Structure 1
Amino acid sequence: MSTIITREIEYTANDGKQLIGFFAAPSTKHPVAGILVGPEWWGRNEYVVQRAKELAEQGYATLAIDMYGDKQTTENATEAYDLMMETFAEPNTLLNRANAALATLAAQPEVDPERLAAVGFCFGGKIALELARAGAPIHVAASFHGTLQTNNPAKAGVVKADVLVCHGADDSMVSLDDVEQIRKELEDAQVSHEILVLEHAKHGFTNPKSDERAKNAGVDLAYNAEAEHKSFAALDALLKKRLA
Structure 2
Amino acid sequence: MRKLLQSCVILSLCLTGVASAGGHEKFVSYEVNGKAFQAYVAQPASAPKGKVFIVHDWDGLTDYEKKRADMLAELGYQAIALDLFGVGAKLEGFEDYRREAGALYGNRAEFRARLNAAISAASATFDADLKEILIGYCFGGAAVLEAARAGLDLDGFVSFHGGLGTPEGQDYSATTGPVLLLHGSADPVSGMDDLAAVLNQLQEANIPHGAEIFGGARHSFTIEGSRDYDQAAEQGSWNAFMRFLKDNIGS
Q: Give the shorter-chain TM-score range.
A: 0.7 to 0.9
Structure 2 Cα separation of the partners of residues 136 and 117 of structure 1: 11
Residue 7 of structure 1, aligned match among 22, 26, 32: 26
Structure 2 Cα separation of the partners of residues 196 and 73 of structure 1: 35
Structure 1 Cα separation of the partners of residues 196 and 130 of structure 2: 32
Deviation digits for residues 78-135 of structure 1, max 9, x if unmatched?
A: 22111101223333111111111111221233x3434011000001111111212222
Matched, 1:43 2:49: no
Q: Which runs of 5+ in 2 are unaligned?
A: 1-21
TM-score (norm 1): 0.87
Which residue in the other structure is 1:86 paired with? 103
Q: Secondary structure of 2:144's match? A: helix
Matched, 1:106 2:123: yes
Structure 1 Cα separation of the partners of residues 76 and 90 of structure 2: 27
Structure 2 Cα separation of the partners of residues 179 and 124 of structure 1: 16
Which amino acid counterpart does residue 11 of structure 1 have in structure 2? Y
Q: Which runs of 5+ in 1 are unaligned?
A: 212-221
Aligned residues: 227
Q: CA RMSD in A?
A: 1.7
Structure 1 Cα separation of the partners of residues 138 and 128 of structure 2: 27
Residue 76 of structure 1, aligned match among 90, 93, 105: 93
Matched, 1:154 2:172: yes
TM-score (norm 2): 0.85
Deviation at 1:12, TM superposition (A): 1.9
Deviation digits for residues 144-194 of structure 1, max 9, x if unmatched?
A: 010111222101xx2211111011111111122111110111110111111
Structure 2 Cα separation of the partners of residues 189 and 235 of structure 1: 23
Which residue in the other structure is 2:152 paired with? 136
Deviation digits for residues 55-97 of structure 1, max 9, x if unmatched?
A: 1111111111111110746352222111101223333111111
Matched, 1:205 2:221: yes
Structure 1 Cα separation of the partners of residues 99 and 129 of structure 2: 33
CA contact 2:182–2:213 (8 Å) conserved in 1: yes
Which residue in the other structure is 1:192 paired with? 208
Residue 126 of structure 1, aligned match among 139, 142, 145: 142
Deviation at 1:17, TM superposition (A): 2.4
Structure 1 Cα separation of the partners of residues 43 and 148 of structure 2: 23
Q: Secondary structure of 1:27's match? A: coil
CA contact 1:145–1:204 (8 Å) conserved in 2: yes
Structure 1 Cα separation of the partners of residues 88 and 202 of structure 2: 33
Q: Secondary structure of 1:120's match? A: strand
Structure 1 Cα separation of the partners of residues 137 and 171 of structure 2: 19
Structure 1 Cα separation of the partners of residues 45 and 197 of structure 2: 41
Matched, 1:236 2:242: yes
CA contact 1:133–1:159 (8 Å) conserved in 2: yes
